[in-house]
Structure 1
């Protein structure tokens, strides 16, 4: 018997939006998958040839790129940051809408003009995306890598600005920060391991099923 296809899905908000897509693509997880108290990470589905794993959003791309999972659902922000050559992203799932933005304290923003920047110090979990964005404008970006609590960086003088994922902007506002520049609009994508796309016969029909699910 062939090993099941493994689809990596992210924990959190995107997972809630992905559930109807999975159903329309003909994939229904076992009941434990929807249990918020479950500590399990791998789950069966109503299809014996498909399992799901639930991992951190940033790790989805790594699992799929290295072939531990054959497909995954991941934000375009993660794809841009890691730029794995082993990943193929054939379908924009049109979920998880947000943006990667530069933000700074409201008091600083009142007199600041991003067009005049030549050097910036920025706290972010997207150092490669940030440096690439500013390098294209001839701005030197010094990045301090953080994995969370980005909004604390300006308050505690770690870095005067941050680059982070923004959805409603509420978290920024509650921490006295404002957006001053958008680096990229973000949506979630279906990603496929390139080798699996060529060698696992179930993969192409699954990609087509997700494409139809989005169109529906």
Structure 2
């Protein structure tokens, strides 16, 4: 029974394709793709297609993709109606609350204004802390919001923290860690359980191999 797999374009795509190649899957078409968006595996009965992160969830939700690879940040912001079966342990970064050094949003009296690309994540986090929050959706560089006075602080994805430092911002708190995840359509999981679990087990073996190797190197 054939499988369809939705991959997030960009860095997650490249990392996932590298894992599939190590698993012995036929990824030649994915590696030399030109402008194509849909690819057949040359060794397995699998079709891959490349979409933006939000669309991975949409395609899996509607059963067009049986399996999807997407960042936990997107899952947290969008909500997930599917099964999340595996943490791929790459694409690692963190959701953080940051502000200018003299603007600690957790010490502010009254409601706090937070700029972010992830309004759902920011709102839930501050409400869980019992803080009255006004969330301002920003699509571009969120670091500008506290600098220009639009917001008291920001919630954003932080990998190295370099961009924050260069703009004079400091991390106040880490909300949670995020990484690439494997999600599966619930109906597909009933109909194609064996085929899906074969792929998941293959991916898991690469994750464990890397963890083992990094443990020795560490």
In 2, the alpha carbon distance for the partners of 1:71 and 1:117 equals 46
Over aligned residues, Cα RMSD in angstroms? 2.2
* Residue segments in structure 2 that go unaligned for 5+ positions in a row: 210-218
Q: CA deviation at 1:95?
A: 0.8
In 1, the alpha carbon distance for the partners of 2:163 and 2:79 equals 28
* Alignment match, 1:103: 98
Number of aligned pairs?
A: 208
* Alignment match, 1:194: 186
CA contact (8 A) 1:29 1:52 kept: no
* Alignment match, 1:77: 73
Match of 1:93 among 79, 84, 88: 88
1:18 aligns with 2:13: no
CA contact (8 A) 1:97 1:188 kept: yes
DSSP 3-state at the match of 1:16: helix
In 2, the alpha carbon distance for the partners of 1:118 and 1:29 equals 54
In 1, the alpha carbon distance for the partners of 2:176 and 2:110 equals 20
* TM-score, with structure 2 as normaliser: 0.84
Q: 1:118 to 1:205 in 2, by over 3 A?
A: farther
In 1, the alpha carbon distance for the partners of 2:23 and 2:57 equals 21
* Alignment match, 1:134: 126
Q: 1:209 to 1:132 in 2, by over 3 A?
A: same
Find runs of 4+ consecutive structure 1 residues off by over 4 angstroms.
115-118
Match of 1:41 among 22, 27, 37: 37
1:183 aligns with 2:175: yes
CA contact (8 A) 2:116 2:138 kept: yes
Q: CA deviation at 1:191?
A: 0.9
CA contact (8 A) 2:116 2:156 kept: yes
CA contact (8 A) 2:7 2:56 kept: yes
